[in-house]
Structure formats: structure tokens, C-alpha cells
Structure 1
């Protein structure tokens, strides 16, 4: 407790520390006041008076007492917003009373320190966030993109993916956002592939053909994963169809990796049929019905029959999680094609057969990893080895 006269004397003290302490007490008393109206009015007048104090220390103490409260007097907060930079930045960062109309002029013309203070506010509206991104400061944009509580318009995120996708840090922040549109995510994944293709360390570690094969499989997997996650986004698949980006290889990859929702969406878009009908046919349709569906989607008859066989194999296996099941399906299809065509694969099936052969090798490698280690850890017996053969006669070169 403090007497009125003592409070008035302290507020006129020549010591800035005492005046600062008084300003802070007045702010706290105003916010917690539950007494008479005239007392409340006197406290408000005292707060107004501290705004004209020549010491920045006093005005900072006043701001510190008010800036976190939604009950603070708005005129005083706005006055403090125009005060010295150290006070203004604190108000910008913490005051819940500021609305977009208060912040927008500062966002458009403020300096870097003011923008940083706004970027650290507890809540930032999409309007303010978009205006801050428009300033073109990459460090500021990166800070905002890493805050997943800020909602960005899909068009803005897609524009950033196109304009800033070459910057690794911004690309990573964009890819880390769950609200990134599927088309923008695919664009950034392709930027990553381009970066890996040009990286000297990667090029030096892998043969060109293998590098291209890995990047191609990675691209197909990325499209399938994104399409599976965005199974309700009809625009993503329709855009792939419109841009002629759905190849036989990609459709095969979607089935092999168990991305059935994406595969179904592709068939629905290609064949102009409902997804529900596609689901029913893939789950329980007969061979002729499936073949008719694939023909309607524009696949060649030989490729359509291949997909029918693949669906029949896939119905008895979980391709989404079971690596062994994937290996079995790919191996079975490869052997059936070789046996049916006596090793002479038709031209129209070369792309599909090449994909299956590549996947057969890749899946065999994945399935074999750790098998011998696990076997050795569960057995105590000795591995029998053949007796060394007698040395052959070596003749010198003529």
C-alpha cells in the first residue's frame, strides 16, 4: 500500500529510478484496479503523464507494466509504439492490443529490427505474414515459414516454391510445412533432385546410369507419396494428367509401392470414372472388367493385361508395408513375361519390363540386407565351405 500523496511525490521525484518504479506501480495498479471510478481515472491520468517523462527508463518501466495485458489502455500502447526503438520493439512483440491495421504501416516501411519483433509475436495473421514475406527478406521469410502456427495462402506458398526453391534453407522450411500444396511440394522435390544431380560429391560416388536410375525412382516415389497424402485433392492428379506426367512406369511404381489411393485417383482421372467405381473394380473386379478399365484409361492392350496380372497378385499381398510381398509380385510378373514371350519382350512392353527388372534388383537388395546377420545371430553351427580345388596349370602368355 502507498498513500496518494506519497505516490504523487514519487512521480515528481528527480530520481529517474524512483519515477520508473512509480510508473510501473501505477501500471500494475491500473490493471488490477477494482475501486472507485475517480481513483481509476486518476490512475489513467498518471499513466498519461508518464508518457511525457524525459527518461526512457521511466517510459520503459511503464511499457513493461502494460504491454502484456489485453486490459491496457489502447491510447497509451499506441503512444508507446511511437516511442524509442527499444520500447517500440517490445510493444510490437508482446502487446495483444495491436491489430493488423496498427502493424501494417510498420510492416511496409519499418526497419529490420521492427520486422523481427513482429515476427516473434504470439499470433500473426495471414495478412501480416504475407506482407512481411513481400518485403523479400530471406531471413525473415525463413523465420515465418518455420512457424507452423502461421497460416499462409496456398498461392503464396506455391509462389515461394517457384521463386525461392533454389535456396536450400527456404526449400527445407517449405517442405517441412504440412499445409504446402501438393504441386509446390512436387516442384521442390524436383529441385532437390536437380541439386543432387549437379552435386560433385554425388556425381563422384555414383555411376551416371545408376544416379539417373536412383533419381528417377525417387521422383516416382515422391509423386506417389504426395499423391497418396493428397488423395482428396483432385487438382493434383488432374494437373499430372493435363501435363502428360502419368507414365506407365509411374503407374507401375504406384502399385508396387502400395500407394493404392493415388493409383485409383489416376485411373479415375484418366478414365473419367468415379473413384468409388475404381475402388470396387480394383478390390473385387473380374479380369475382363479390370482390362476394360485399363483400356478405357488409354493403356495399350499388352500393358492393360500386365496391370490386370499385377492387381491379381497384389490382392493377396500388402504392398504398402511388406517388402517381401513387393519382391514376390515383381519377380512373379517378370518371370511370367519372360515365359510368355520366350525372352523376346515386345517393343510396347519394354518400358514396363525394364522397370520391373530394375525393381527386382532393388527389392532383392533391400530384402537381403541384414538377413545373414540375423541368421548368424540365431545359429551356432559352422558354415561348411567347399574343399579348395587343385591349382590349375598356368601357361605363360605367348
Structure 2
């Protein structure tokens, strides 16, 4: 039986414990490879000899604290790995290791049952970005910790949290993550698969994701296209923000101002299908045209030519190339007709439901249909 077990079994083991402690401390101060090997083996033996549910002696805790303060990084890393899953280690030691270099901190942040919410919140405040990501990945973190992570708003930490399926994240907090996915694309795929995603939140997320993830949402929740169209309509009702950063004293024609706004949004990665839908709902047809041309990579003349056709086929292909969902195309084309004197026309009859197309396929079809046509 090892000294660590005898230390708890009998008061007569004090001498053995002191001898063991003295040996470990002497090895921790040693510089040779053999000292390191024997110290690592001693740490492992002490940890393995402590049965589950047992309490470590104060002397053993003191030994580990001294080692953690004095030993070099590789020794502290082994200590962290050895104590990561134990419930008997000194809490102060675990907290110390959690704030150490990330290679040392990672095992205890991931697994230690001794780290409480206040300890994890301290790591979020005091430690590096890598430490904070590990906290976000930690299994079964509480809603309080999840809320604190979302409050920080860092994309890498939020992405780690979105991928943590065991986190105790509230519906309100998940809604905040979905709102963040409008600017952080990496959040969208893990949120689409998140076990706590419900139909209402999925309908909101639908507005921010691409076609493949939209199909995944449809398959998972069986949301009707009518409801999705209503969600998009509700999302675009707030008025569009005025262009930011353009000197009002400058005399710039309306089209040039809209072009600058679209360029700024595009450069910031904020030019999305939802912006185009908002523009047309706000009866800003020229802004819709400029944004559509930029988002799908065609000229403004080609966009205008698509609108001024006898049927809406070309406009449908353009909207699909820009990522506008087919569920809302009918409403979009009706708004455009009201603003453009009835263009595009109805062709041979009333508008019919249209098949889903990927943006690349729609762009190819549009080129084949309209080519280099001018308005």
C-alpha cells in the first residue's frame, strides 16, 4: 500500500507520509532527467492510490501546491492531467492550474468537478482567449456561465459555445446567439443542429443561413413556406438605417449614395438577402437593384433588364443567385411590380411555384437566359 493511502488509514503513518512528502519535494527541486521521471511517477502513484470519494490529506494537498508553484511547466502539466477528474484535490490548486498556461489549464477546465461557476467566471475575466474557449467547450456549463460568454461577444468563444450541445443554455440565450449569427457565419451550422433549437428560433435562424442550412431547418422542423415567408416579412418591417459615414454636407446624387451604402455593407460582410428584402419592402427599388447587382455579381443594367421583361423568370433566377429564398419571391415580385409600373410581366399566365436552385446554378441559368442584355 502506498504512502498516500496509509496517510488516511492510520495516524501511525505520519512518518511515512512525511518521508514521501520530503522525497517528492526534493525531486521537484531536482534538475536531472531521473529526478523528473521519479517525480512524475510519484505524482501518478499518489493520485492512483487515492480511492474514489476519499479525501486527500492536508499534507498531500500542500505537497501538490508546492510542486505547482515550484516545478517547471511539463511537471505542472502532468499534475493537471493527473488531478483533472479527481474530486479530492485541493480546490485552490485546481483554480491555480486553471489559470496556468493553456496546455496546463486545459485538462482541469475540461473535466474538473471542483471548478464552480465563480471559478469559471474568473477564468473568463482573467485568462486568455484560449482559456475562455475551453470554458465555452466545457461539458454541462451552467446558464450563468453561458450568459457570461455571450455577453463577451467574441466570435471564437461564441462559436465554441454554439457547438457545446451539453451547455445549459436558456431559450433567451440561444436567441441571442442566433442574433449574433447574422454577423458571425461560423455560428450558423452548429446552431442549426443545436438540440435546444425550437421551431420559433429555427424560423428566426432561417433568415441568416444559406440554402443548404435552410433545407436542413425545413427537414428538421417541417416549417411551412407560408410561415417562413411571414417571418421574413416581419423581419423587414423596421425602417432601413440611414447610410453611415457619408457627410451630409456633400451633394451626392441618390444613386451614388445608395452605391456607397451597398459597398460599405459588402465590405463589412453585412450585405445579405435580408437587406434586399427590407429595401423593397421600404419601396426603395433603386437600392434593391444596386444591392442585388452587387450581391449576385451582375451589372446594374442586367438587373434592370431582368425586371423589364415580359415574365419574371430572369428576376427569379437573379433573386435565387443572391440567396433570396423562393418562399418569399412571390411577395418580392409583387412589390417590384407596384414600384415599376407592372414589370416584370406575368408571361403566359399567373406566377407558378418555382423549384429550389442553388445560387451558383441560378447564376448560370441567368447568364444563359439574359447574357449581356442591356436595359
Q: TM-score, normalised by structure 2?
A: 0.48
Highest RCO, 1 vs 2 (Cα 8 Å, sep ≥ 6): 2
Q: Give the structure with higher Rg (CA).
A: 1
Q: TM-score, normalised by structure 1?
A: 0.46
